[in-house]
Amino acid sequence: MLAYLIRRLIAVIIMVLVVLLATFTVFFMLPKWAGQDIAVLFAGKATGAEQIEGIRTKLGLDDPLLVQFWDFVKGIPMGRDYVNGSDVTHCPAPCFGYSFRTEAPVWETLKEALPVTLALAAGACVLWLAAGVATGVVSALKRGTFWDRSAMTIALGGVSLPVFFTGMIAMGIFVHQLGWVKIADSLSTDDSAGVWLQTMILPWIVLAFLNAAMYARLTRATMLEVLGEDYIRTARAKGLGEATVIRKHALRSAMTPILTVFGLDLGVLLGGAVLTESTFNLPGLGLEAVRAISSKDLPVILGVTLFAALAIAVANLVVDLMYAVIDPRVRLG
């Protein structure tokens, strides 16, 4: 078990480094190959030669890519000093880079955005797991009934409607028309739980609707498959109560594929729910990424990408470990 864990952790680190290198290449090398000057991108309207030269030194764009990459990686455990012209700024560990747009370490930005993304992901995934799995199970049991058909039609809607669409409608109705909830203009850890709840409730529901729909369909399909298995027939033949058969025998084994998907979804969500966060203006990682991309704030883009990759890798690892708990057939060795 321990050996397995170590192996997996090393794999996680390698994967994150590969993602980081790829991101580095996309943002630093591709423009160069296309003949663009990154320093000019940063300069915006100010185009004097000395301005552009200043930006180049400030961002360390003169160094070879591998050197830039190594400096960045080294900064995460060790911290790093950024030369800001005649000013030196220390970026303490964990240093995920330094944004010259906001003049602050990227980690500060990530640290502020993280609670928002965590809250959004946690609330939404509880909702969608509960609603999705329950709907799926009931639909599977009442296959072909009116309930099943209407639940699956709604689920189809949920799967096919994008978040910005359902989000705008939800806000139009519940915020502007009925005035039931008020969405805060910005969220921080200083705000009260009430403000967080008010702001989060719609995004939770909207995001959960999208995912619950998927989970309902998935649960229904897996449950139908499992319910046709011989061991279910055996369990029923033994005279076990229907509730026990469903809960302990069918659902438990149907959970394995759902858990796999869940792990991936949660990981992606922790990296920032870009559409949901932009629609509701939730200052989480996703919105931070969008802002960073539109203002070409490369260090923040790198920081968010790195964090997203980490989240997905770790979520996957956790799911793999959970298999052992849910399904004894899976042995880790």
Tell me which residues touch other proteins (CB under 8 A). 31, 35-37, 40-55, 57-58, 84-87, 89, 100-104, 160-161, 165, 168-169, 171-173, 176-177, 179, 185-186, 188, 277-281, 283, 287-288, 290-291, 294, 296
The nearer residue to other proteins, 265 or 297, going by C-beta atoms, is 297
Shortest separation between residue 226's beta carbon and other proteins, angstroms: 28
Place of tokens 């591709």: 30
Shortest separation between residue 153's beta carbon and other proteins, angstroms: 11
Question: DSSP label at 284?
Answer: S
Shortest separation between residue 163's beta carbon and other proteins, angstroms: 12
The nearer residue to other proteins, 172 or 241, going by C-beta atoms, is 172
The nearer residue to other proteins, 133 or 183, going by C-beta atoms, is 183
Beta-bridge partners for 1? none
Helix (H/G/I), strand (E/B), else coil: 192: coil
Shortest separation between residue 70's beta carbon and other proteins, angstroms: 23
Is there a contact between 281 and 185 (Cβ–Cβ < 8 Å)? yes
d(CA 181, CA 202): 8
Q: Which residues contact 206 (CB under 8 A, 6 or more apart)?
A: 163, 166, 167, 170, 276, 279
Shortest separation between residue 321's beta carbon and other proteins, angstroms: 36
The nearer residue to other proteins, 97 or 283, going by C-beta atoms, is 283
d(CA 116, CA 92): 23
The nearer residue to other proteins, 150 or 160, going by C-beta atoms, is 160
Helix (H/G/I), strand (E/B), else coil: 88: strand
Shortest separation between residue 195's beta carbon and other proteins, angstroms: 14
Is there a contact between 206 and 170 (Cβ–Cβ < 8 Å)? yes
Q: Which residues contact 178 (CB under 8 A, 6 or more apart)?
A: none
Shortest separation between residue 144's beta carbon and other proteins, angstroms: 21
Identify which of 124, 97, 117 has the alpha carbon closest to the alpha carbon of residue 262.
124
The nearer residue to other proteins, 129 or 187, going by C-beta atoms, is 187
d(CA 248, CA 212): 22
The nearer residue to other proteins, 95 or 266, going by C-beta atoms, is 95
